[in-house]
């Protein structure tokens, strides 16, 4: 149950935690087949019909690992139904963009076992009647290189076409409608929903768009069945899951654990915490802060983390040491998240900028009590008012910071900060590519 | 008739604010001038005002949908 455990043979599938990361076959096709077994042969279903794997995925209880934790089998069925109604061939998109700066699980998975991800996408495509699989990763990333190399190594032997797509290094580029927009039209910006991507995604085709890890699980369900998949993890969201653990732990990195593993166990597997801990980021920067005390004995599932206001999201867990200031950390992250807004929707573009300015004031001890109440009001009106969920996630991150660090916020209002350190804990990318749109009416600037 | 809900395309909306003047019962503006829409169905006499607001939107961002439709209101 460590990030680098010994390989298991395909004939004896692991019932423990090392399903996806146990072996490390890399881009070599033969090594992959030796580690996991050959790609199961499936016939491609006709348009509007679901192959038997769809029902098997539904029985497995697999839930999407990109952050939504939506049942993957139901999503596949919805794409098939939309495909039948619209009389359009569906598309398949693999999201390996990994927009969350604190996450690295998809990069690690795609590096260790890229063919597992591709197998899952090929099998999913055959099962919903799609002819093309689009694999998306950030421009210049190692994941993109790994996917390109793995696709080349397969040598066109797959029953469907594989296309690797590179996307700009922007947070919202990995939002599902933005990614479908990128794959179809080359524009990585969110679009207004509905229609949702499963109804009308890549070039208006019904589109199965899921996280890279989700497809890797599909590849294993196709090989070993739903019962095997359900044999570990929490019955509500079974299987194993990848978690990027960072911050004040002994061994930061990516872990694979059964769902339902407690946060205490996860931190133990990551080498334990280094020193005393005040709070934890869960899910990512579109996720939530939680106090360490409330969180530590809760199971890692969407329902299980709720009592602490935490979310598993895209599998991010960052530990804040108690000599760091959570408000300073939050201010830096919120400023970055505001800058990552596509700028298409007013409440997100102006709202996140205002929240970011407020947090800068609060973090630097220059905020007044009335301004804090104004900030809380702003956090209340922004969610649900963007085309995508970017503002909702950024606001949740900011709002949970005000709850978890309420005492510290009061100290900051009187110009004091109890933190002893000034080094940043939460990683924030320093640069980012400019917006791909010119804003109407602002050509004069 | 179960009524209609006011919908908005947030990407099209540029915060002209016409809707809040024509349908103040259902639409207020935030501090940046963008509409905050009451998700409850529009019924009876409000419907004609809602239709007028929809027709007056200079960005064609505002719409009306049947309340039974699963389209989330106010988004």
Per residue in A117-147, pLDDT (tens digit) is 999 999 999 999 999 999 999 999 999 999 9
Q: Which helix (H) or strand (E) holds B62?
A: strand B62-66
Would you call the peptide bond into A338 cis, given omega within 30 degrees of 0 as the criterion? Answer: no
The CATH code of the domain that includes A258 is 3.10.20.600
Put simply, the answer to whether B10 touches A387 (Cβ < 8 Å) is yes
Global pTM?
Answer: 0.91
Structural domain including B35 reads 4-66
d(CA A49, CA A84): 7
Low-confidence ranges of chain B (pLDDT < 50): 1, 69-75
**Do A312 and A290 touch, CB atoms closer than 8 A?**
no
d(CA A241, CA A315): 8
Eight-class DSSP state of A142:
H
d(CA A417, CA A413): 9
The CATH code of the domain that includes B12 is 3.30.70.20
Map residue A76 onto helix, strand or coil.
helix
Chosen domain end from A321, A349, A373: A321
Eight-class DSSP state of A70:
-
Q: Based on the domain organization, do A298 and A344 belong to the same domain?
A: no
Tokens of A402: 């005000």
In terms of residues, how long is chain A? 445
> Has residue A359 got a pLDDT over 70?
yes
The CATH code of the domain that includes A154 is 3.40.50.11540
Residues near A399 by beta carbon (within 8 Å), at least 6 away in sequence: A376, A379
Query: Looking at the 3D structure of chain A, how many domains does it have?
Result: 3
Nearest Cα of chain B lies from the Cα of A351 at a distance, in angstroms, of: 8
Chosen domain end from A321, A356, A374: A321
Q: Based on the domain organization, do A252 and A290 belong to the same domain?
A: yes
Residues of chain B whose beta carbon is less than 8 angstroms from a beta carbon of chain A are 9-15, 30-34, 36, 71, 74-75
Report pLDDT for A11: 40
Put simply, the answer to whether A384 touches B12 (Cβ < 8 Å) is no
Write a three-state SS string for A373-421.
HHHHHHHHHCCCCCCCCHHHHHHHHHHHHHHHCHHHHHHHHCCCCCCCC
d(CA A253, CA A263): 15
Q: Based on the domain organization, do A121 and A209 belong to the same domain?
A: yes
Eight-class DSSP state of A310:
-
End-to-end CA distance of chain A: 55
A344 CB near a chain B CB, below 8 Å? yes
In a domain, B73, yes or no: no
ipTM at complex level: 0.87
In a domain, A2, yes or no: no
Under the banding of pLDDT at 50, 70 and 90, the label for residue A433 is: very low
Phi-psi region of A434 (alpha: psi -120 to 50; beta: other; left: phi over 0): beta
Report pLDDT for A438: 45
In a domain, B71, yes or no: no
Instruction: Write phi, then psi, for A334 (nearest 5 degrees).
Output: -65, -35
Sign (positive or negative) of CA dihedral A173, A179, A182, A185: negative
In a domain, B9, yes or no: yes
The CATH code of the domain that includes A347 is 1.20.1440.230
Put simply, the answer to whether B32 touches A346 (Cβ < 8 Å) is yes
When the pLDDT of each residue in chain A is averaged and rounded to a whole number, the result is 92
Q: Based on the domain organization, do A102 and A210 belong to the same domain?
A: yes
> Has residue A444 got a pLDDT over 50?
no
Cβ-Cβ contacts under 8 Å, A390 against chain B:
none
d(CA B71, CA A385): 14
In a domain, B75, yes or no: no
Q: Based on the domain organization, do A123 and A201 belong to the same domain?
A: yes
Q: With CA atoms as reference, report the closest residue to A394 among A437, A302, A332.
A: A332
Structural domain including A95 reads 29-231
Report pLDDT for A420: 77
Question: For residue A63, what are the CA distances in angstroms to A218, A242, A243?
Answer: 10, 13, 15
Tokens 């809707």 locate to B19
Tokens 């279903």 locate to A45
In a domain, B16, yes or no: yes
Q: Based on the domain organization, do A165 and A33 belong to the same domain?
A: yes
In a domain, B72, yes or no: no
pLDDT tens per residue across span A38-59 = 999 988 899 999 999 999 999 9
Query: Looking at the 3D structure of chain B, how many domains does it have?
Result: 1
d(CA A272, CA A138): 31
Report pLDDT for A16: 53
Cβ-Cβ contacts under 8 Å, A350 against chain B:
32, 34
> Has residue A435 got a pLDDT over 70?
no
């Amino acid at each position: 149950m460590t990030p680098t455990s010994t390989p298991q043979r395909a004939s004896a599938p692991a019932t423990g935690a090392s399903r996806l990361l146990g072996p490390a076959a890399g881009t070599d096709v033969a090594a992959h087949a030796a580690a996991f077994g050959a790609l199961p042969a499936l016939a491609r279903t006709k348009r509007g019909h679901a192959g038997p794997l769809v029902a098997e995925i539904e029985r497995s209880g697999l839930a999407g690992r990109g952050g939504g934790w939506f049942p993957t089998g139901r999503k596949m069925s919805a794409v098939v139904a939309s495909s039948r109604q619209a009389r359009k061939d569906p598309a398949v998109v693999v999201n390996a963009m990994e927009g969350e700066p604190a996450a690295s699980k998809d990069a690690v998975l795609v590096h260790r076992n890229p063919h597992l991800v591709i197998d899952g996408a090929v099998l999913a495509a055959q099962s919903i009647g799609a002819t093309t699989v689009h694999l998306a990763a950030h421009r210049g990333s190692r994941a993109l290189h790994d996917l390109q190399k793995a696709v080349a190594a397969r040598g066109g032997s797959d029953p469907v076409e594989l296309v690797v797509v590179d996307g700009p290094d922007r947070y919202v580029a990995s939002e599902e409608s933005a990614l479908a927009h990128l794959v179809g039209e080359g524009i990585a910006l969110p679009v207004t929903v509905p229609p949702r991507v499963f109804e009308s995604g890549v070039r208006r085709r019904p589109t199965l768009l899921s996280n890279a890890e989700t497809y890797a699980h599909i590849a294993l369900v196709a090989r070993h069945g739903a019962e095997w998949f359900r044999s570990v993890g929490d019955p509500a969201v079974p299987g194993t899951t990848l978690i990027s653990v960072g911050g004040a732990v002994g061994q930061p990195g990516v872990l694979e654990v059964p769902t339902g593993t407690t946060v205490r166990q996860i931190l133990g597997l990551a080498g334990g915490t280094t020193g005393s801990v005040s709070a934890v980021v869960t899910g990512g920067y579109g996720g939530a802060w939680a106090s360490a005390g409330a969180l530590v004995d809760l199971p890692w599932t969407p329902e299980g983390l709720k009592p602490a206001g935490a979310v598993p999201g895209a599998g991010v867990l960052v530990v804040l040491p108690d000599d760091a200031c959570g408000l300073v950390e939050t201010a830096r992250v919120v400023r970055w998240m505001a800058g990552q807004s596509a700028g298409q929707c007013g409440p997100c573009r102006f709202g996140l900028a205002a929240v970011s300015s407020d947090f800068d004031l609060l973090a630097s001890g220059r905020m007044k009590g009335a301004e804090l109440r104004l900030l809380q009001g702003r956090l209340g009106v922004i969610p649900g008012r963007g085309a995508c969920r970017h503002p909702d996630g950024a606001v949740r991150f900011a709002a949970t910071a005000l709850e978890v660090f309420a005492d510290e916020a009061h100290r900051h209002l009187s110009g004091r900060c109890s933190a002893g350190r000034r080094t940043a804990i939460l990683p924030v990318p320093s640069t980012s590519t400019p917006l791909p749109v010119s804003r109407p009416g602002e050509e004069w600037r | 008739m179960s009524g209609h809900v006011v919908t908005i395309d947030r990407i099209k909306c540029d915060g002209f604010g016409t809707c809040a003047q024509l349908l103040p019962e259902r639409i207020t503006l935030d501090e940046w001038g963008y509409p905050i829409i009451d998700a409850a169905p529009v019924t009876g006499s409000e419907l004609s005002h809602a239709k007028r607001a929809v027709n007056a939107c200079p960005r064609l961002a505002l719409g009306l949908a049947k309340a039974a439709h699963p389209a989330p209101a106010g988004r």
